[in-house]
Amino acid sequence: NAGVTQTPKFQVLKTGQSMTLQCAQDMNHNSMYWYRQDPGMGLRLIYYSASEGTTDKGEVPNGYNVSRLNKREFSLRLESAAPSQTSVYFCASTLRGDQPQHFGDGTRLSIL
């Protein structure tokens, strides 16, 4: 009964380092999303994948790239981390557009 699984749960990086955040869902959902959560700002959409093989930019895509590896997995990559990318990152998935999204527990990322 895993739902949406995100790895790692915590990470500290130095400015300029790269890293990939992993997300996998076991609910056979079609659509997947990456959000970032900053204090006082709610969640903001970084990228999304409406279906396997497609990805699109959300509200705050700069500095990020994504890969929809297969139907289950959707990764988020920071090529050259910056302190402004310090945040909590959430992955979510949904079966179709009229259904609620299911969220992972988040990755807490600090960039020094």
Residues 8-37 that bind another protein (CB under 8 A): 31
Cα 103 from chain centroid? 10
Residues 53-82 that bind another protein (CB under 8 A): 58
Candidates 2, 40, 53, 62: give the one binding another protein (CB under 8 A): 40
Candidates 11, 43, 71, 72: give the one binding another protein (CB under 8 A): 43
Buried b / exposed e over 45-78, threshold 16 CB at 10 Å, is bbbbbbeeeebeebebbeebebebeebbbbbbeb
Direct distance between the N- and C-terminal alpha carbons of the chain, in angstroms, rounded to an integer? 35
CB of 70 to another protein, least distance (A): 20
Candidates 26, 105, 110, 112: give the one binding another protein (CB under 8 A): 105
Q: How many residues does the chain have?
A: 112
Binding footprint of another protein on the chain (CB under 8 A): 4, 31, 40-45, 48, 50, 58, 90, 92, 94, 96-106
